[in-house]
Every structure is written in C-alpha cells, then in structure tokens.
Amino acid sequence: MRIINAKEIGREEVERLLTKKAFDEVELSPKVRAANKKIFGEDLSAIEIVRRIVSDVRKLGDKAVIDYTKKIDGVELDNFAVDVAEIDIDSELLSSLRVAAENIRRFHAEQLPKSWITYRGENSLLGQAVIPLERVGVYVPGGTAAYPSSVLMNIIPAKVAGVREVIMCTPNANPTVLAAAKLAGVDKIFKIGGAQAIAAMAFSTEQIPRVNKIVGPGNIFVTLAKKEVYGHCDIDMLAGPSEILIVADETANPTYAAADLLSQAEHDPLACSILITTSQTLADKVSAQVDEQLSNLPRKEIAAAAIERNGLIVVAEDLNEAIDFANFSAPEHLELLVSAPFELLPKIKNAGAIFLGAYSPEPLGDYLAGPNHVLPTGGTAKFYSVLNVETFLKRTSLISYTQNDLLGVADDIIKLANAEGLTAHAEAIRKRREIL
C-alpha cells in the first residue's frame, strides 16, 4: 500500500488524496462502454443510459422491463414474480441468519419513535403523528456475490416500522438471498434488476406495484436510476463503493488492521481502504501484512485492484490530526484501533458507523451485531444517516384549536398574512371572528 507522511506533504495534499469521487463521476470502463454501445447502438454515458431506461419503463411498463432485461442481462422473462410461499429456507445458514435477524430486529425496535400530543390554551392541542409508509421497494444486487445480510438489513427495519407491504427486486434468485428475504418478512419478490427494476418500482408496471420508497444498494446504473426517480418516490441514499478508514496508534495489531482493510477491498475494485496512524512502524507493518494476506484471498484480483487504486496509509503527527483527517473523509466505516477508543469518540463528527476497539471489527457490524450496515458513502456521512426505522416513517402534524384560543391569536395571524400579501389567508381568520 502507498504510505505518505502528512507532515512531509502537507495537510492540503492529504485532504486532496482523501477526497473521493462522487458516485456520478465514476467513469465506465472501456469494456462496459463497448458492451453498452452494442446494446444501445451508440456510446452513451451512464446517466444517458439510465434516463432512456427509466423513460421507457415509465411509458411502456412490463414490455420495457422485459426488453431491457433481455438486452442487458440476456434473460428472457415472462412472469417476474417469485412465489414466496415456495421458498425453502431449510439451509445450513438458517441458524446464523436467525441469530442475525433477531439482533437486527431487537436493535431497530429501540429506534421506534412515538406519536405525541401537547395541550395549549384551554383545550387546544398540537401534536405529531408518526405513520409508516404503505409500500416499500428493496433492491438487492446480483453481481459477483450474494448478500443475504443486506436483505435482512433493509427489510427488517421496514417491518419494525410497520410498513404494510415490502417488495423486493433482485436479478438473481439466489437461494440464500431468498431465504433471508422470507425470514425477514418480505411480501413479494420480483426477479428483475438494474435501472429497469428501480423504474418499475417507482412508476409501477402491469406486474410490479408502485412503492413509496426505494432502498438498497446497487451499481452505478442502479444508483443513478434512484436519483432519476427521486421525487416520484423517496429513496434511502445515493450510495457508492464501500469504504473503510482505520485510525490506529502504535498499540494496534498490524495483522488485524490489514485484515480489516482487505475486508472492504474485496467488495469492489472501486472500494476504498485507508489507514491513518501515528506510527510509521505500524504503517510499514500493515503495508507488509496487506501484501501477505492479499495473496491468500479467493477474491484477490478484486481486492488488489481496490488497494492499488484507492488504498492509502497516512502517517499523522498525532491522534488529533488523525481524527481531523477522518472527519474530513467522512467514511462509511470508521474503526478506532487505539488504546483508548472511547476517549476519541466525542471528537468523531462524520462517519456512517464507528467500531471501537480491536474486537469490534467491521464485519461484526456487517453481519451480526444488529446496527444497520446500509451506510452513507463517498463523504456523504457529513449529511446522510445510516438506514434505520425512521427511514420508513413519515410525520404528520396535528393541530386542533378551540374557538377562544383561535380568537386569542387571530390578530397576530392576520398581521402576518397581510405582511406577506396573502389577504385570503387573513380573511379565513377574519371571517371566523366576524361570524362569532
């Protein structure tokens, strides 16, 4: 891994190196561009492809879904639905999936907010009603790996929130993914993927119902499709490649640090693995460990590409500087491999999830601990939150004034309405006062 010294190259250069490309700045590889040109007849950008697919699905419904699935995935579809009742969940993984599901369910149950009412004046009241969304769509990618853990993380919080119907779209009917979906409580499953699946859930087709919100990760085409349909329905976030940033002092175990860096690198050639440490010695040892451990990974080609492209070790002057760099980066996963991690916790401002200490590695959060692993990426932890129960809830204000309480504030309302030139607003109050 590349090692740089913050003192030698300067803070601005470190921050430049820590700045990630936005999800929509990712360039398509020549191989992907060539394949797309063959499909679409011209060299289109990712967003141009997505807009064409979304527009066609919106206008043509199932026909467009079928056509694009055949062109892009080489799969001929007729009936999209998977019969949930026929899914066999008797697998060797079932016991572990049940443990994970229970932990996820218990954690998210603690997040449930409550509706409330407060009284004003004699018998007037104000309040807030917390209402679950009616129908939510969950996208589960296919690709080079199956992710039953993501199925649990997306469906269970929705069910805890009280969502009436959860539908799932996935291009591959992977048995473990289907088992996780049934265990989590999915209502309907459709075997389609890509931008056409996102468009179908956003606008509905003959077979796929319209949803209020779409959640779940995907590739650049899925992410751009979610951006394109936002406003017609809600979305969770615009996620990019996976990331880990480790802040470590001289007490950190280099073997652990290297293993954790590689745990994210194996996801995707665009994944980002960064170590910021106060120890040059640790930096050298971690770099050597990454090389050693990399050679034994089944997905070593993917991990090696990620390390080559987005792997970085920064030697900081002290832990305060290390935390400053971490906050600037705003990573998806932040590990604190330091002697006193809880002392640093109040200084962390931007991170999707924080893992404290040597025995709280990132995979613990990915699979079993309970907190959600659907996290903001690409620096968006500066303003996005982790997926949670409130992702699937909306709030409605409640207002009920008595006659006397309304009269008591009538003059103020009339003055404010007139100041804005909205005389009909003022009249709606004045007429009530006149009739009384």
- Per-residue pLDDT of 202-256, as tens digits, reads 999 999 999 999 999 888 999 999 999 999 999 999 988 899 999 999 999 999 9
| Residue 90, pLDDT score | 67
Mean predicted lDDT score pLDDT of the chain:
94
Residue 101 counted as domain residue: yes
The three-class DSSP label of residue 212 is: coil
SS3 assignment for 102-158: HHHHHHHHCCCCCCEEEEECCCEEEEEEEEECCEEEEECCCCCCCCHHHHHHHHHHH
Whether residues 308 and 196 share a domain: the answer is no
The three-class DSSP label of residue 159 is: helix
Among 243, 266, 332, 362, the one annotated catalytic: 332
Residue 379 counted as domain residue: no
Residue 327 counted as domain residue: yes
Whether residues 125 and 245 share a domain: the answer is no
Q: What is the CATH number of the domain that holds 169?
A: 3.40.50.1980
The three-class DSSP label of residue 355 is: strand
Whether residues 140 and 283 share a domain: the answer is no
Whether residues 173 and 301 share a domain: the answer is no
Residue 206 counted as domain residue: yes
**pTM, two decimal places:** 0.92
Residue 374 counted as domain residue: no
C-alpha distances (whole Å) from 8 to each of 61, 242, 278, 317, 320 are: 58, 29, 14, 10, 17
Q: Is the dihedral of CA 55, 60, 64, 67 positive or negative?
A: negative
Q: CA-to-CA distance for 6 and 339, rounded, in angstroms?
A: 22
Q: How many domains does the chain have?
A: 4
Q: Which residue type occupies 283?
A: A
Whether residues 406 and 358 share a domain: the answer is no
Whether residues 219 and 318 share a domain: the answer is no
Q: CA-to-CA distance for 30 and 72, rounded, in angstroms?
A: 16
Q: Which of 29, 217, 183 is nearest to 93 (CA)?
A: 183
Specify whether the CB–CB gap between 186 and 83 falls below 8 A.
no
Whether residues 259 and 339 share a domain: the answer is yes
Q: CA-to-CA distance for 304 and 369, rounded, in angstroms?
A: 28
Whether residues 183 and 309 share a domain: the answer is no
- Per-residue pLDDT of 10-66, as tens digits, reads 999 999 999 987 777 777 888 889 988 999 999 999 999 999 999 999 999 999 999
The two tokens of residue 275 are 């170590």
| Residue 144, pLDDT score | 60
Specify whether the CB–CB gap between 180 and 166 falls below 8 A.
no
Whether residues 280 and 365 share a domain: the answer is yes
Whether residues 8 and 42 share a domain: the answer is no
Among 108, 228, 243, 333, the one annotated catalytic: 333
Whether residues 50 and 67 share a domain: the answer is yes
| Residue 93, pLDDT score | 81
Q: Domain limits at 418?
A: 402-435
- Per-residue pLDDT of 372-409, as tens digits, reads 999 999 999 999 999 999 999 999 999 999 999 999 99
Whether residues 227 and 283 share a domain: the answer is no
Q: Is 332 a catalytic residue?
A: yes
Residue 169 counted as domain residue: yes
C-alpha distances (whole Å) from 200 to each of 80, 88, 307 are: 11, 27, 36
Residue 377 counted as domain residue: no
Residue 384 counted as domain residue: no
CA torsion 70-73-76-79 (nearest 10°) is: -110
- Per-residue pLDDT of 122-149, as tens digits, reads 889 999 999 999 999 999 988 666 789 9
The two tokens of residue 210 are 């319209």
Q: CA-to-CA distance for 264 and 283, rounded, in angstroms?
A: 18
Q: Which of 22, 389, 80 is nearest to 207 (CA)?
A: 80
